[in-house]
A and B are shown apart, each in its own frame.
Chain A
């Protein structure tokens, strides 16, 4: 069935460090892929998405490329800020009526 596996956390970085959070998926067909972010005390919000192979989603300095050959959608940012501290969730849109399958989330903490 459809599933997402993402890198276990927590991840702790200094400001301006490079960030990678790994995400791989299992799905039939050609799913859409998402990264959501949850800031402290808030619900999830969409960070970026990609709908087909080789698409690159980007937002707020974050990027992720849909790699069908490696079934991956890794999140990257070249220089993190304290304000990026949050929980990041990788997700895929399955074949069932628009439902999403989420990874377990990765807690990122950025220190000044």
Chain B
């Protein structure tokens, strides 16, 4: 069965802390994605990666960075957390190739920045 896991379901951090959100997929997918989900705004793409060590900015990359050192793992980094980064963070992965465009999502990490 397809599986995307995220390191924490709930996380509470202080303003200014460096925060790491980890995502691991076991499907050998090339593409991985980080979204944030906020009420009334739906899902907004932060960053995505289509290969190891490759990354592309999404629609709201400011205040975030990412790392993909291994194919199965995609990390989202908040260099200095701020209260406006309190949100639900969703990771997803998908294979490459014609017609193989379904994204598979992890359960999400609800991050609260105090």
Interface set of A (CB-CB < 8 Å, partner B): 32, 34, 36, 41-46, 49, 51, 89, 93, 97-100, 102-105
Contacts and interface: CB of A to CB of B under 8 A. Distances in A.
Contact of A45 (B33, B48, B58, B105): B105
B35 to A, nearest CB: 8
Interface of B: 4, 31, 33, 40-43, 45, 48, 50, 56, 58, 90, 92, 94, 96, 99, 101-108
B106 A98 contact: no
Contacts of A103: 42
Given A97-B31, A98-B96, A99-B58, A44 B105 contact: yes
Given A99-B33, A102-B42, A43 B90 contact: yes
A105 B41 CA distance: 8
Contacts of A46: 102-104
